[in-house]
Amino acid sequence: MNLRPYQLELVDRVREQYRDACSVLMQLGTGGGKTTTAAALIQLSVAKGRRVIFAAHLDALIDDTSDRLTSAGIPHGIVQADRPTNATAPVQVCSLATLHRRGERPAADLLILDECHRAAAPSVRGVLEAYPKARLLGLTATPERGDGAPLGDVFERLVCGPSVRELTAAGHLVPAVVLSPPAPTEGALALDPVEAYERHAPGSRALVFCTTVAEAEDVASRMPVPTQTVLGETPREIRRAVRERVTSGELRVLVGCSAFLEGFDLPAIETVILARALGTCSSFLQAVGRGLRPSPETDKRRCLVLDLTGAAILHGLPADDRVWSLESAPRRTAEALAPLARCLKCFAVFHAAKACPRCGVPTKGARLPRRATRIERAELSRLDTRPQHERDEAAVRAIARRLHASGRFPAHRVDAIARGIFERGKRRKAERAA
């Protein structure tokens, strides 16, 4: 198995920790190759006659791990409803939900828990308690629970891999360019996601993170390019097909509300649109990480992040160095806490400098407050400075283009239908806000 130098070092460091500990958490940023590194540890365990369980909560993670073990020549079974299995194999790739429901579980000397920041969930705890004598290995890019609490009550030791900044410098990730409002918003977006796409990333391959299914479907219906929603219940076959269609360019935008934060690897994604609140550093980094993988097929050079809620102002830039701990919430290093600036021309956010690294405009007077200030929508300085009536007309035109492209409506009626759809959507938003 061919590993990168830092992955070989991680394998050695994890094995070293097991000399006097039974549970280890291995942290490695999204795109750094956690599953590949874990496969090397599995291979070493199997060579010593040990039995291994790799447990994950998503179909995509189970499929990806199975594919990687197959490529490495490691025999394994799959424990999940309606999936073929091989009960005699030394390695079992298991659905956490299936393990939670079953009274009898495969034997294991090593239990690997993917996305282990979910370890506090009762169903996951139940599985861990069923293997009191097995060594535990947790994998995550962000060792922080959803409530911001550390994971020291589950894991004894923490082994961290290279940072996002280091992985980017080595060419294993692409750099992120973040466009944000001047402060975090409260219950509002700095710009409509469709307008943000058309204004800042037209034609690019994009992921849009929405809050609800209804919002995701609304955004998808108004996109001016081929778009598809991907929801939690979307079958694995469709998800696989969607990846291929985005890479080929047949699809341009994917919209979802909870389907992309974990287990969705699509290197072709060039733009990440954050159209929902991301209250923890973990969720912010997981979302942005979807766009940081290099894509040789599309020759992607960087990832554009359209941060419509000001999450970067709250949590810092994706490449900021962070100190992870099992005993406290993550914190940025002193260097990463340097003041942020926001370009008044292109809206890029970066650590204060004499000029914007994206467009070169001088940044005097564009520094952001050291501490984030939450502000209401009425006070928000928008990414889009056009008058409201111009933005409304642009939204109507975008809907009309999509209706016309569908070929389902007479050409002379498209404009009227588009305006009706826009007005209904506007009324629904007003009702929700009330």
Residues 190 and 314 in one domain: yes
Please report, for residues 15, 63, 96, 272, 297, the alpha-carbon distance to residue 246 in angstroms, rounded to integers and kept in the order given: 39, 19, 29, 14, 11
293 residue type, one letter: R
Residues 393 and 270 in one domain: no
Which CATH number goes with the domain that contains 353? 3.40.50.300
The CB-side HSE value for 184 (13 A sphere, CA atoms) comes to 17
Q: What is the pTM of this model?
A: 0.82
Residues 292 and 275 in one domain: yes
Residues 116 and 189 in one domain: no
Residues 87 and 210 in one domain: no
Range of the domain at 69: 5-162
Residues 121 and 153 in one domain: yes
pLDDT in 10s for each residue of the chain, 434 residues: 789 999 999 999 999 999 999 999 999 998 899 999 999 999 999 999 999 999 998 887 898 899 889 988 999 999 998 888 888 999 999 999 899 888 778 999 999 999 998 887 888 888 999 999 999 999 999 888 777 667 888 999 999 999 999 999 999 999 999 999 988 887 789 999 999 999 999 999 999 999 999 999 999 999 999 999 988 777 778 888 898 999 999 999 999 987 777 767 899 999 999 999 988 888 899 999 999 999 999 999 999 999 999 999 889 999 999 989 898 777 777 666 678 888 988 999 998 888 999 999 887 756 776 444 433 332 334 444 445 666 677 778 878 887 877 778 888 888 888 888 888 877 776 665 55
Q: How many domains does the chain have?
A: 3
Helix, strand, coil percentages for the chain (3-state, nearest 5):
35, 15, 50
Residues 185 and 325 in one domain: yes
Predicted confidence at residue 369, as pLDDT, reads 60
Residues 236 and 362 in one domain: yes
The SS3 of residue 355 is strand
Q: 339-373: buried (b, 16+ CB within 10 Å) or exposed (e) per residue?
A: ebbbbeeebbbbbeeeebebeeeebeebebeeebe
